[in-house]
Amino acid sequence: MRREDALDYHARGRPGKIAVVPTKPLGNQRDLSLAYSPGVAEPCLEIKANPEDVYKYTAKGNLVAVVSNGTAVLGLGNIGAAAGKPVMEGKGNLFKQFADLDVFDLEVGSEIPDDVVKFCQLLEPTVGGINLEDIRAPDCFFVEETLRKTLKIPVFHDDQHGTAIISGAALLNALDVVGKKIEEVKVVFSGAGAAAISTAEHYVRLGVKREHIAMCDRSGVVYDGRTEHMDPYKARFALKTTDRTLDDAIRGADVFVGLSAAGAMSQGMVKAMAKDPIIFALANPNPEITPPEVHAVRTDAIVATGRSDYPNQVNNVLCFPFIFRGALDVRATEINEEMKMAATRALAALAREDVPDSVSQLYGLDNVKFGRDYLIPFPFDPRVLLWVAPAVAWAAVASGVAREMIDLEGYRDSLELRLGKARGLMRGIINRAQQDPKSVVFPEGEELRILRAAQILVDEGIAHPILLGRESRIRGTAGEYGVSLEGIRIEDPSTSEHRDRYAQFLFERRQRKGLSLSEAQQRIQKGAYYGSVKVAMGDAAAIVGGIGKHYPETVRPALEVIGAHHVTKLASGLYMLVFDNRVVFCGDTTVNIDPTAEQVAQIAISAAGLVANFGQVPRIAMLSFSNFGSVSHPDSAKMARAVQIVREQRPALMVDGEMQADTAFDMDETTKRYPFSKLTEAANVLIFPNLSAGNIAYKLLTKLGGATAVGPILVGMAHPVHVLELTADVQDVVNMAAVAVIDAQWRVRTTSGTYIPVGTTGEMSATTGLAANGNGHPVAPHPASASTGSQRAPAAARR
């Protein structure tokens, strides 16, 4: 990284890295009167009467102060408060990006510890917690200890505890990898500052014996009787020993923890360590010794650093955002040792889970597995929030420092929403799938991504996967990559006991389309045909396929075997586009090139059923280049006619058009210019006049508009069929399988072979997905149903 790049990054555009963003509208006089005088007086009076209401009416519960006096900034030393401000702004950016916490960075112009203490004490009414940063030792110990005694909000010195918590997780896993017991290992520290002392104390709580820890600073080993450069905090680790230098102490050591300076450890020291040495060289920006230097002399060593260009990065961003997220969400009065320990164990447990492809790809890696080169999660793994924050929150509750109780599963759902609406919506879908898992067939069962997804589906209770392929190949791949096949069914279409029966079914379906029995017997050995027949015959609930294949290769067998439902007679493809503040469904984006008005109407009705099944009320806009007849053209007339057809068939649906795209969303302008419009809220279902428009639009919205796309979702089929994109990753597979499960849940086979949604009593078009109650109004699941599920603890809490 060049110096000029770093300077340009901070200076370009709006200087700095953070800004204050309003959360309430201020667009007219009424808003002004509510935001400020006179309306603001009302919450002021409520808070005066009930001080806890400050969390209800202000941002305090989501606000952290990052406080520093600049006396120990990174490896730069005492550079002063103003010079340390870029670091504090960066900290604020990380808080927001990783845990959705707001931050005021506050640089205190004093090196006197009592001044920093007083400053922080005066902040208590304003912020929900205080993160102390870059304050030199031993001042930082006094400041934090005093504040923890005098304040009733969380106070956390990240320089001390962040490294302790994260390296503690790495230590637990490294010891497990090499088969050593924590109570027996000898640990040597290079450095005796705030981070080193806090880390050593944390290791003692994890099980390392205090007498097995040797701490070294610039004066050598901290031994009993030493007076030079000593303080009460170092004295806790004074050993009765004749060792006087780091070279002396390192002989036979099992673990080295470097929190000092580049080059502090030599290759000779590495050679002197015990078998399978664990080396945490954590000095920044350059470690005490690099992994290549270690491995040049010890191939049995496990190495971690603070750098992203080597494996096992100990980065404090794995800790502080999530510690504060959990603490603030239960209104903890402090961050205690139980909460820190919970964070360590959650990180250690998460590292043992499969790493999603989307995370591995950020680091340019494939096949990341727990072991010597992967001891702790990657900083950009979004699951860290979902594991660490709940663990910390629950530890606060269990240890008696929380003022609010939480429901763990509901809390995890709310955290997913903070990661983005797409994750929150998918969490709701997954929760519903877990209530009644169904069997899902995967034609590409030999694909590693499918194997990994199948394991997650079983572990999370989302579906019962059936993998199609050669059993020897599937088991071989699973063994090679450490994927468990427990709970997963494997069927080889070429040797299956169902092969002849399925071939006969296929022949009967396609015999008048030129297919002979011998050809059917050949085709049934292909996964897509075998899986489609399996679903059509009721031996599985749904099929999900398409990885590594072009869309037509997957859709064609399903259309030939399963086909469109006899009521709709039309299949269509939708994408769910998730933005920060809305979710929009687009159709048709994948199947029908130039649909007629009748087909457009059916696409809209099928889309409405899907939206209702996802727990939302469908509001449909038939899109065109014309607004309600403003342009006379066959294309606009087609969309207007489609509106009429939908209203005739489903009079209770909210649908209108033809209209331009902006008319579908700008309700203030739409109600003024078109008061007759049936759309009273912004549309959430966009129906396009042809495939070109739909396909182009959804791709522009994802690439330029920042939407997250979920799909393609196939609707209008006689049985649940869902298609994966060619390059879908493991999480995409899991998401689509969950969609297939709730699709199957909502269909109940009747004697006529049609499907109706579970729990409805009125008549319904089988595959439109929209039920009618006794009054003929559409029935959609209650919105809350999209986020309610079995009361299962988060994965971290279950282990």
Q: Give me the active site residues, please.
A: 36, 91
Nearest alpha carbon to residue 244 among 263, 268, 220 = 220
Cβ distance 114 to 142 under 8 Å? no
**Cα–Cα distance between 602 and 599 in angstroms, integer?**
5
Q: Is 773 exposed, middle or buried (0-12, 13-18, 19+ CB in 10 A)?
A: middle
Do 428 and 453 contact (CB within 8 A), yes or no? no
> Per the structure block, which two tokens stand in for 5?
């790049």
In whole angstroms, give the CA distance from residue 544 to residue 525: 17
CA-CA distances (angstroms) from residue 410 to 6, 427, 784? Answer: 41, 10, 11
The total number of residues shown for the chain amounts to: 799
Q: Count Cβ atoms below 10 Å from residue 512 Cβ, excluding itself.
A: 7
- Residue 482 to residue 474: CA distance in whole angstroms: 12
What's the chain's Rg over C-alpha atoms? 31
In whole angstroms, give the CA distance from residue 523 to residue 527: 9
Q: Which residues pair with 102 in a beta bridge?
A: 63
Q: What is the dihedral of CA 94, 189, 347, 63, to 10 degrees?
A: -30
Residue 783 preceded by cis peptide, ω within 30: no
Which residue in the block uniquely carries the two structure tokens 């005093």?
Answer: 146
Residues 6+ apart with CB under 8 A from 706: 579, 580
DSSP assignment of 336-369:
-HHHHHHHHHHHHHHTTSPPPHHHHHHTT-SS--
Residue 61, judged by CB atoms within 10 A of its CB (0-12, 13-18, 19+), counts as middle
Sign of the four-CA dihedral 754, 759, 761, 767: negative
The distance in angstroms from the start CA to the end CA of the chain is 40
Cβ count near 455 (within 10 Å): 22
State the Cα–Cα distance between residues 126 and 123, nearest whole angstrom: 5
Nearest to 489 by CA among 471, 462, 503: 471
CA dihedral (237, 240, 243, 247) positive or negative: negative
- Decide: 567 and 716 in contact? Cβ < 8 Å: no
CA distances from 300 to 11, 375, 799 (A): 45, 15, 29
Please return the burial class of 666, using the count of CB atoms within 10 Å of its CB with bins 0-12, 13-18 and 19+. Answer: middle
- Indicate the helix (H) or strand (E) that contains 572: strand 572-578
Nearest CA among 669, 693, 694, 701 for reference residue 682:
669
DSSP state of 65: E
**What span, in angstroms and rounded, lies between the C-alpha atoms of 172 and 174?**
6
> Which residues on adjacent β-strands are paired with residue 715?
572
Taking CA 767 as the corner, what is the angle to CA 764 and CA 771, rounded to the nearest 5 degrees? 30
